[in-house]
Structure 1
Amino acid sequence: MAPRNEVLPGYDVIIVGAGPAGLSAALILGRCRRRVLVCDSGQYRNAAAQAMHGFLSRDGIAPSELRRIGREQLAPYGVELREAAVSGVRAGARRFEVSLEGGERLVCRKLLLATGLVDRLPELAGLREMYGKSVHHCPYCDGWEARDQPIGVYGPGSTGVQLALTMKTWSDDVILFTDGPAPLSEAEEARLARHGVAVRRERIARLEGEDGWLSRVVLADGSAVERRSLFVKARQEQGADLAAKLRCEVTEERGVETAERHEETTTSGVFVAGDASRDVLLAIMAAAEGADAAFGINCALQEEDLA
């Protein structure tokens, strides 16, 4: 292992994040004969998920198995994988310096951020035990499994209205739980009523079920509403602050902003792929963005090499 503060020889690309976006980019760049390092913190947004869905040829696969296959397919191309979190980044003249937890420093010509998002779940008793099994945040990922069942939607105030209406695609029996007073507009009230979505404004005491499977939503007054799944409107945050440190433009609504050129951010030489850029938040889209970013990165490296 290198001394604590030694800066090691450079990579063409360092990829921060080893989910579908990071691994997809690494595969393309490895095949382009680039020296690539993937840094894996071991923190994944879908860690609680039982299976991934909507990923062509891999529908229903466990997230850990997809990562295993992805890593295995990088081996022939010499891509390096490091089980390490990135603690800091700094832009220099035509290069970036990346600091790992523990003090090791590395340099690269281009940087890809595939650091994803973190879902801040509501503090409901029983939710953590059911999350990923019968409590979810993404209808496109888990709505099929809840089809034709009694579905609950959690959204304080009016934030759950659109999600509740969305869930009508999968079930006729949808209830919106606002967990307290909800000053819905007349238009929202009318739209929910028109589509048969009931609204419960009582505070929620806890979720009850067995072995991770929801049975009922217990309200503060002691009454209970039978439900088989709950979809929550979760607050999302960037999985890392690296984009901000590199002065990339980051907005709450869109995440890390990209310019017109293949997932490049507003900071030259820094690219982003996956949920961090808040496009369509599906694993297959993250993988596609990773491939697009890899194409852009390799083109940029070629321009420099052939100048």
Structure 2
Amino acid sequence: MSETNRRYDVVVIGGGAAGLSGALALARARRSVLVIDAGSPRNAPASHAHNYLGREGIPPLELLAIGRAEAADYGAETVRGEVVSAEKLAGGFRVVQADGGVVEARRLLVTTGIVDELPPVDGIAERWGNEVLHCPYCHGYEVRDRPVGVLALSPMAVHQALLWRQWTDDVVLFRHEQADFTDEEYEQLAARGISVVEGAVAALEVAGDRLTGVRLAGGTVVPREAVVVQPRFTARSAVLESLGLAPTEMLMGDHVVGSYIAADPSGATEVPGVWVAGNVANLMEQVVGAAAAGLKAASMINMDLVTEDTRRAVDARRTPFSAEAERLVTERVLGDRRHGLQEIR
């Protein structure tokens, strides 16, 4: 972006569902809005987005294109770019982009999302978003009744296997390098017909651009058509860290599942004037929830701006009647005559 020091009511950093939903609401509130989008949405590898009422099964990039067009209809601007830092100013914020572009904003809405850090198993990254899955509510129906493998990567592995059993009765849990399960967990798995495979997983087997199985370190291949993993969810927090907002670790027991930026229920952070929404603030949020969070944050941002605008209007209204203002008016109107009038009195 070549423009420098343009000033907006709100700059939205991140053009996913949360950011565009917030931008739409703010533009409809007649705020000047700029969305700066790096163009790397988390769900880009997925062919379809699910559980978004009215848009069920829509390709993720198509959903975002529709969102950008809708926000633009109300005057919101969207540009492609990467924000590298932001700093607090007396009246707002200065936002710096990788290409050197600089804009200013009265408020910031940060919706930069998270990065899925995948396990170092050959084939996982290449098939991510296709047959390598995480969320059953997002993709469980698409692999219903098919052979599914769950790769144990955390103490939540048994819970994952039991959850995916809702969509198929052919679930295999690969213990991989995870600590042994408890007797109670083995009983639960057996009761649900979930078998456990011992040994480290070496790679995924692929044929004809389709997943066909899971290969163990010893060479055995277990036929599977989908594999479930639990990534580590890491907040894209560099911009927020430049403002002094450090990410918080999310724990399940003693296991770190990811990091996020702490905020109140509206998305307001500890830095006045900065809101967050979507996965950067809530690791478990799905697309429709991220959009709702963006809307909520936008409404609170607008209310915050209304409060500031009202305070400024009140100050301006009072100013003409202050003692200082009267002195200045007298000086301007009477000038030297003012002193003569004082002498006559």
**Range of TM-score over shorter length:** over 0.9
Contact 2:88–2:94 (Cα < 8 Å) also in 1: yes
* Counterpart in the other structure of 1:287: 291
| Secondary structure at the counterpart of residue 214 of structure 1 | strand
* Counterpart in the other structure of 1:59: 56
Tell me how far 1:16 sits from its aligned partner: 0.4
Counterpart of 1:241 (choices 238, 242, 255) is 238
AA aligned opposite 2:292: A
Q: Residues 175-186 of structure 1: matches in 2 within 5 Å?
A: 175-180=172-177, 182-186=179-183
* Counterpart in the other structure of 1:145: 142
User: With CA pairs under 8 Å and 6+ residues apart, which has the higher RCO, 1 or 2?
Assistant: 1
| Secondary structure at the counterpart of residue 75 of structure 1 | helix
AA aligned opposite 1:11: Y
AA aligned opposite 1:250: P
Tell me how far 1:177 sits from its aligned partner: 1.3
Distance (whole Å) between structure 1 residues aligned to residue 98 and residue 201 of structure 2 = 40
* Counterpart in the other structure of 1:44: 41
Q: Residues 180-199 of structure 1: matches in 2 within 5 Å?
A: 180=177, 182-199=179-196
Distance (whole Å) between structure 2 residues aligned to residue 187 and residue 252 of structure 1 = 29
Counterpart of 1:107 (choices 99, 104, 125) is 104
TM-score normalised by length of structure 1: 0.93
Which segment is superposed worse, 12-21 or 196-205? 196-205
Distance (whole Å) between structure 1 residues aligned to residue 2 and residue 212 of structure 2 = 53
Does 1:304 find its partner at 2:318?
A: no
Tell me how far 1:25 sits from its aligned partner: 0.5
Which protein has the bigger helix share? 2
Structure 2 residue runs without a partner (length 5+): 251-258, 312-345
Q: Residues 4-15 of structure 1: matches in 2 within 5 Å?
A: 6=4, 8-15=5-12
Tell me how far 1:2 sits from its aligned partner: 4.4
Does 1:257 find its partner at 2:262?
A: yes
Tell me how far 1:162 sits from its aligned partner: 1.6
TM-score normalised by length of structure 2: 0.83
Distance (whole Å) between structure 2 residues aligned to residue 158 and residue 119 of structure 1 = 18
Contact 1:177–1:199 (Cα < 8 Å) also in 2: yes
* Counterpart in the other structure of 1:35: 32
Counterpart of 2:277 (choices 273, 278, 289) is 273
Label 1:264 to 1:129 Cα distance change in 2 as closer, same or farther (>3 A). Answer: same
| Secondary structure at the counterpart of residue 302 of structure 1 | helix
Tell me how far 1:74 sits from its aligned partner: 1.7
Number of residue-to-residue matches in the alignment: 303
* Counterpart in the other structure of 2:16: 19
Label 1:289 to 1:202 Cα distance change in 2 as closer, same or farther (>3 A). Answer: same
Tell me how far 1:138 sits from its aligned partner: 1.3
Listed one character per residue, the Cα deviations across residues 199-225 of structure 1 (whole Å, up to 9, x for unaligned) are: 222111211123442211111112111
Q: Which has the larger radius of gyration?
A: 2
State, as a whole percentage, how many aligned pairs show the same letter: 39
AA aligned opposite 2:307: E
Distance (whole Å) between structure 2 residues aligned to residue 161 and residue 187 of structure 1 = 11
Tell me how far 1:157 sits from its aligned partner: 5.3
Listed one character per residue, the Cα deviations across residues 67-113 of structure 1 (whole Å, up to 9, x for unaligned) are: 11111112221111111000001122231111000222211111001
Contact 1:129–1:212 (Cα < 8 Å) also in 2: no
Which segment is superposed worse, 42-51 or 152-161? 152-161
| Secondary structure at the counterpart of residue 252 of structure 1 | strand
* Counterpart in the other structure of 2:198: 201
AA aligned opposite 1:259: D
Distance (whole Å) between structure 2 residues aligned to residue 245 and residue 41 of structure 1 = 17
| Secondary structure at the counterpart of residue 6 of structure 2 | coil
Distance (whole Å) between structure 2 residues aligned to residue 161 and residue 244 of structure 1 = 35
* Counterpart in the other structure of 1:222: 219
Does 1:134 find its partner at 2:131?
A: yes
Which segment is superposed worse, 121-130 or 164-173? 121-130
| Secondary structure at the counterpart of residue 112 of structure 2 | coil
Contact 1:181–1:201 (Cα < 8 Å) also in 2: no
Label 1:228 to 1:274 Cα distance change in 2 as closer, same or farther (>3 A). Answer: same
Listed one character per residue, the Cα deviations across residues 108-167 of structure 1 (whole Å, up to 9, x for unaligned) are: 111001000100111221223322111111111100011111111112353422211111
| Secondary structure at the counterpart of residue 9 of structure 1 | strand
Tell me how far 1:244 sits from its aligned partner: 2.5
| Secondary structure at the counterpart of residue 267 of structure 1 | coil
